[in-house]
């Protein structure tokens, strides 16, 4: 059985995220490639967060109800039918890396689940994680690094 994978042509695992995708650049999501989604998956969930933030884990992007056939999320886009939730920036959508100091780790966590999530667009990462409990079939992650240059 093929294992769920998430990768980016923009950066490798534990490599620096190009500034284009951060608060110092265009602040748009990097291209992501998805593979190895099992046939039992009804949807995919993506949570991007920074566990190194001074005030605790900072959520940069949440997406759910992604079609399990999705093989790619292009730059600056949301897959058709997917829902974006509220991030730690208090609004929906992608918020790029913008660490106050030092190098931070950014986790792009992908989950294959056996259901669609009936959550509204005001859902937070903790709402999503609670709704996924007992439904996760597989998971994968990609870790990117970033340190502000200014």
Which structural domain, as residue segments, surrounds residue 140?
Answer: 5-146
Q: Please check the confidence at residue 2 and state whether its pLDDT lies above 90.
A: no
23-34 pLDDT tens trace: 999 999 999 999
- The size of the chain, in residues, is 150
Mean pLDDT of all residues in 108-125: 96
Residue 129: the pLDDT is: 97
Residue 149: the pLDDT is: 83
Mean pLDDT of all residues in 125-147: 97
Q: What span, in angstroms and rounded, lies between the C-alpha atoms of 15 and 115?
A: 33
Gap between the terminal Cα atoms of the chain: 45
Domain count, the chain: 1
3-state secondary structure of 74: coil
Q: Please check the confidence at residue 1 and state whether its pLDDT lies above 80.
A: no
| CATH number of the domain residue 43 falls in | 3.90.280.10
Cβ pair 117, 64 in contact under 8 A = yes
Mean pLDDT of all residues in 115-120: 96
Task: Quote the distance between the C-alpha of residue 15 and its chain's center.
Answer: 16
63-107 pLDDT tens trace: 999 999 999 999 999 999 999 999 999 999 999 999 999 999 999
The reply to whether the predicted model has a pTM over 0.95 is yes
Residue 133: the pLDDT is: 97
Residue 150: the pLDDT is: 75
Residue 41: the pLDDT is: 97
Query: If we measure between CA atoms, which residue out of 63, 55, 78, 53 comes closest to residue 146?
Result: 53
């Amino acid at each position: 059985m093929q294992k769920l994978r998430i990768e980016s042509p923009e950066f490798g695992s534990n490599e620096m995220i190009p500034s284009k995708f951060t608060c110092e650049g265009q602040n748009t999501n990097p291209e992501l490639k998805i593979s190895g989604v099992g046939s039992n998956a009804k949807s995919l969930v993506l949570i991007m967060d920074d566990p190194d933030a001074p005030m605790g884990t900072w959520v940069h992007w949440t997406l759910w109800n992604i079609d399990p056939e999705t093989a790619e999320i292009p730059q600056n886009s949301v897959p058709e039918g997917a829902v974006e939730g509220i991030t730690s920036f208090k609004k929906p959508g992608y918020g790029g890396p913008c660490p106050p100091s030092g190098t931070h780790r950014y986790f792009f966590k992908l989950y294959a689940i056996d259901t669609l999530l009936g959550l509204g667009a005001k859902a937070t990462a903790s709402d999503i994680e609670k709704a996924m409990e007992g439904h996760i079939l597989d998971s994968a992650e990609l870790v990117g690094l970033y340190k502000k240059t200014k």
